[in-house]
Amino acid sequence: MVASILIAGCGGDDGEGEGEASLPEGCSEVEAPEPRQAEASRPESELNGPATAVVETSCGEFEIELDIAGSPRTTASFAGLAEQGLYEGTGFHRVARGFVVQGGDPLGDGTGGPGYSVDEPPPPDTSYLRGVVAMAKTPAEPPGRSGSQFFVVTAPADAGLPAEYAVLGRVTRGMEVVERIEQLGDPGGADGPPSEPVVIERITIERG
């Protein structure tokens, strides 16, 4: 499961008619995002004071309290990408029920990123509990490396991942929205794209 957190297929449109009926209540029917190459600027400074990321999706809105103290470089990079608009029009390309939902890839297939990476290994006792948001990486990359892709843990308790994924923060409001996205995963728990597209409309960083 660790390797599959990083490389997933691109979600697609299953066609007309059935899509609307299969969407969870609270989700809007949308087109699958077009893949795009992204080149973003690396942030020059870290965030000062508390900050919250408001993630607006086609299934509703949820908030992430950013772990600035524990992951200053990771949170600064994520905030910078959000403020540059990198996440607008990207999708959740991977859903594994009872494990994670993953998004933030401009290519939409689990291989894209912002054109740079950040290294910030988490503490060895890091646990990926329900609602924790962390950054995805490939198995070949060192612990704590991240680009733009992030995942939200939906496991009932601990996802059982090794302490290799930089922690971005925790969902403090709207976990029910994450659960709606999770409902679009394979009912049997298979790892893959959602049955219907879910789009990130924008991510806004609120400071203070």
The pLDDT assigned to 133 comes to 98
Q: Which residues, in sequence order, are bridge partners of residue 204?
A: 54
Q: Which of 107, 126, 197 is nearest to 167 (CA)?
A: 126
Residue 38 domain-assigned? no
pTM comes to 0.90
Residue 42 domain-assigned? no
The pLDDT assigned to 18 comes to 41
Counting the structural domains of the chain, the total is 1
Mean pLDDT in each 10-residue stretch from start to end of the chain (208 residues)?
Answer: 39 39 90 95 94 98 98 98 98 97 98 97 98 97 98 96 98 98 94 97 96
For residue 88, give its domain range. Answer: 3-30+50-207
Residue 109 domain-assigned? yes
Q: Give the Å distances, CA to CA, from 68 to 49, 76, 78, 137.
A: 8, 8, 11, 20
DSSP secondary-structure letter at 32?
P
Residue 44 domain-assigned? no
What is the rounded distance in angstroms from the CA atom of residue 110 to the CA atom of residue 92? 10
Residue 151 domain-assigned? yes
Q: Give the Å distances, CA to CA, from 124 to 22, 52, 89, 144, 180.
A: 41, 25, 34, 11, 31
Residue 43 domain-assigned? no
Residue 181 domain-assigned? yes
The pLDDT assigned to 58 comes to 98
Residue 201 domain-assigned? yes
CATH number, position 189: 2.40.100.10
What is the rounded distance in angstroms from the CA atom of residue 26 to the CA atom of residue 7? 28
